[in-house]
Amino acid sequence: MTEPLRAGGWIALSGAVLLAAGLLLCGCNSQADQDQTKSQTTTTLAAPPTPKAATADKPEPPAQTGAAAAPQPATAQSGPASLLEEARQSLAQGQDRQALGRIDDAAQALWQSLPLELSRATLVSEPAKGYGIYQPRQDDVYLVASPERPVFPGKGQPMYIYLEPVSYGVKALPDGRREISFAMDVELFDGQGKQLFSKKDFMRAQTVSHHFDRQFFLNVTVNLKGAPTGAYKLRLTLKDLVKGQQAVADLPVKLAMAPLEKK
């Protein structure tokens, strides 16, 4: 764990973060709960009250006849161009289903050859309900509480973030299933670029599927506890544990004091 940069400010954190973890001492709570298409994480960052300023040739895939028909994976030696040529030949012979299978194989091979990226890293108004099912937030301003303004007591207004990685690694397992595996680091910077908080591997997310899954998203919820008003930058570093690559999302956010309640 990265040590705090300023004594007496950020609290040292500890705890396991494999699937569900509690990082104690008012620090970071992390949870990964995913199915074939999603992973969800939650973290709370504790702030000081006054911080400074991608074998052999593969046979033709069988026709899909119900749930028992298994998908055919792309071969390691067949590149996207040769697979697309096989698709073109199948189409010329009227074998549309086989052509579609080759096109999908080509997409898988190309996916594995590309570097990891985050195609979406968006502040949202609430956690996404599914892949691509999210509502973008209209601004980046979040309210924090004070003793005189007791809204969202103890935490402040939650920040919901939708992440959509692409071209991540998909590992073939001995039993024929496919594995996707991630870890994530979190950092917080002030308006001058000074790092206020850093936690490596604060969460891990892993899913195993019978399919080559290209629809995976993450819901991240961040709460800043005790942080003063001002401009911040939240950095999320998504690490692909299959490819050994990473992608970074920098999200500017602002904290503003909640308005006084009307008596």
pLDDT in tens, 43-87: 445 444 433 333 344 444 444 433 333 444 444 457 999 999 999
Region 123-150: mean pLDDT is: 85
Nearest to 75 by CA among 115, 114, 99, 109: 109
Helix, strand, coil content of the chain in percent (nearest 5): 10, 40, 50
Q: Does domain 20-49+116-257 have CATH number 2.60.40.2550?
A: yes
Token code pair at residue 1: 């764990």
Instruction: Label the pairing between strands 178-190 and 171-172.
Output: antiparallel
194-228: per-residue pLDDT in tens?
998 888 998 889 999 999 999 999 999 888 776 78
